Amino acid sequence: MRQVGHFIGGKHVAGTSGRTADIYQPMDGSVIGKVALASPAEVRAAVENAAAAQPKWAAVNPQRRARVLMKFLDLIAQNNEELAELLAREHGKTIADAKGDIQRGVEVVEFSLGVPNLMKGEFTDGAGPGIDIYSLRQPLGVCAGITPFNFPAMIPLWKLGPAIACGNAFILKPSERDPGVPMRLAELFLEAGGPPGILNVVNGDKEAVDAILDDPDVKAIGFVGSTPIAEYIYARGCANGKRVQCFGGAKNHMIIMPDADMDQAVDALIGAGYGSAGERCMAISVAVPVGKATADELVKRLIPRVESLKIGPSTDSSADYGPVVTKAAMEKIKAYVDLGIEEGAKLVVDGRDFKMQGYENGFYVGGCLFDHVTKDMRIYKEEIFGPVLGVLRAESYDEALKLTNDHEYGNGTAIFTRDGDAARDFASKVQVGMIGINVPIPVPLAYYTFGGWKRSVFGDLNQHGPDSIRFYTKTKTVTARWPSGIKDGASFVIPTMG
């Protein structure tokens, strides 16, 4: 059975805490490995390695740092099949979906290759008599990323790419549920010429997370996961004087206007609601058709599509989605479906009893579809994180907009319409961070920033794009005056532009 330890100082290190967690293969429910859970001492060893290596890395000019990341990207491409298969085996998503996971992460590292330009400061010649003013962007030191199970390649790459490009060292604490790909990425970074200690991977649970949050040498922390944990990490990290960005839960609405292309809307809901078994923070989990006729037609078309979803093992290239990540996740999703029935929603497609022939012990949940969901139900208020779509009918556009704005989460949303005025009004007024207009999963490309509003985010700067460079650097402003023979005596007033 495979044993996964840590990657510290450019080497694989066996765990010494005596604590481990099982690594499952979700498609058949088997245990395929053990992952070590780090102690505070092991986290401290990784931080010390990172702190020792970082000053020399920061002194490497940005273009040469970018060249290392170019080689890193080349090695990811060369090993893409291996990485996708490893990701699918530990997570459960299909290999095609796993490749998308990797590619979305790669695109952020590609953006980070522009770091020589992105880190440029500003300069003002002659800001005063014989005075020049200029600003510098400098790395923070040791940064850390605490990343989730649902994107074991993408989110680590979103975090480590910009951080390392800016001259920081990085501690990655990936999910203990699927640690294989993060460990392999660390190996490839070293092979690409990355110095030992610049990228360290520490596997663990809350004990490791708390050690990162409390370590005085960790200057910045990025997190993606559930809202309660995001709020905890943000509060504890900030209390310890760290720069922190935390991205939490979501309940993404898709509004379907009466004039929408219904074929397009149904296709969008099927892909955005059930892709990756719904284990995405940008999944559409609430459909809001406007008007009874729109709702009736939407549900009528959705039912056969949900019933015909093809669910299969990760290795099935024709599967629409695979199993969920753990047995506990499977049971939690089914419990939410039970709850929805108790709350009075109409379950029009029931996938709770789905069993995969030949994989009866796998963690599978069939597609579920609720109609007549109401805003007071827990299945509407809470993130289910599974292949469950709820239809909440609205009588008007204003009611649909208010539903979205009143929800505590504000990660992503979409509207499907042919009316440009309605689309523009929605984009202007909706209180959500990422908006799709006839686009169901509005994840911005790597050169824009990714982030929600309200209780979907804690912190002032978003992921990737220009915000990532701002997050992983600090600004230093220099006011310089060189002797010019002018002697004007001591001044006791604050400098001004006068």
Catalytically active residues, by annotation: 281
Q: What are the DSSP calls for 161-176, one per residue? A: HHHHHTT-EEEEE--T
Residue 118 to residue 69: CA distance in whole angstroms: 15
For the chain, the 3-state helix, strand and coil shares in percent, each to the nearest 5, are 40, 25, 35
Within 326-431, residue ranges assigned H as helices are 327-343, 378-381, 397-406, 420-429
Q: Which residues contact residue 342 at a Cβ distance below 8 angstroms, ignoring those fewer than 6 apart?
A: none
Residue 206: exposed, middle, or buried by beta-carbon count in 10 A (0-12, 13-18, 19+)?
A: exposed
| Whole-number Cα distances in Å, 149 to 90, 100, 174, 180, 288 | 9, 15, 7, 11, 29
Backbone angles phi, psi at 417, to 5 degrees: -165, 160
Q: Which amino acid does the sequence have at 211?
A: A
| Sheet containing 284-289, strands listed edge to edge, beginning at the edge strand earlier in sequence | 346-349, 368-371, 388-391, 284-289, 252-256, 412-416, 434-437
| Whole-number Cα distances in Å, 337 to 26, 282, 342, 392 | 21, 20, 9, 15
Neighbours of 418 (CB within 10 A): 13
Sign (positive or negative) of CA dihedral 112, 114, 118, 119: positive
Count, residues in the chain: 498
DSSP element (H, E) containing 154: helix 154-165
Residue 165 to residue 369: CA distance in whole angstroms: 44
CA neighbours closer than 13 Å in the CB half-sphere of residue 68:
24
Smallest CA-to-CA distance from 315 within 25, 2, 10 is with 25
